Chain A
């Protein structure tokens, strides 16, 4: 009959109305500043730069290849490449960023910079309380503000961080094995040509 559905709907909402006063499970509201629920692991808000070891400046994984700067859709990453080089995690000499700024107000949290980075140097943070009262300087994060330790990365995205570590370890092992093989080959070669030669140092 006409109007039956309306009555049913009204009964349903009335149930909700009164139910919300008696049963706690119905209410899904989290009263934010006072109450918090832990963010889920996949949460991502804003990129940060990962560093290994204790010193953030020395340990930054970023090699200033500027791929992320070019790929970032709203172009909110600003990188200055260094003139000199420093060794990276496998010991290879690499450039490093003398400036690495990201504009929070422009970043759209798309994670593209993370996906394109070949060095696992930039990852997404889940820190979301980024409000500031300085809307120009306060929203442009420099590399110091962006640097986070690998341990921090493990604490917010454990699964992903372990995968990254495994990948990096594998690569490092491969490089080391290669270096060792090269060293052995070199040693064998020198041994064959001039048997009483002094041993050569490892690393190429």
Chain B
């Protein structure tokens, strides 16, 4: 059940590169990462690719297959026809290091800007939380930090200049996660999302949700609720009035 597939893999580094053609064996049940490994082992030992778990759990093997951001280890060869040419390139929103490996430090820098979980005034072991209250944040904690959402988000993919002002979907769900954490002691997560993370840059076009391998409903469950919270704090005169006359707690 094996056949020879045609692959085009981007080879090169920051100074330049090109799509290189390969013909390589494919066996039943294999994923794109297997084929890249076969190329490494048989045709080009120095083909650079990141991976770890090969089970969609670590988010290392992010790249673009036929133009779409994907995990190489979770893209099955059976989704292509035998005659189709499979094109594999590095993520196109981040600087390339070599071949399929990109410099994703943008994401780590953004991660460091979000104020950390603010523990409540409780001793360890005294935390009590209800399952219904943790479930929303748990969805966002499924994130494997593959950064496919960051890669596909046009705000930064198509506008390098926005990288300064926009944190990207991965870190907007982090903001939502903390704001919905039943015991987080900070109250200003939504303000931070607006003022420092640039949530207003997102035009909710949902590409992040489309590519998330963990199927996190990034836009519907995190970004839009955060936008609504921002509205509640900044753009809603009724809420403002309510807090003024004491009908509503801050």
A and B: bona fide binding partners: no
**Residues of chain A having any CB pair with chain B under 8 Å:** none
**Residues of chain B having any CB pair with chain A under 8 Å:** none
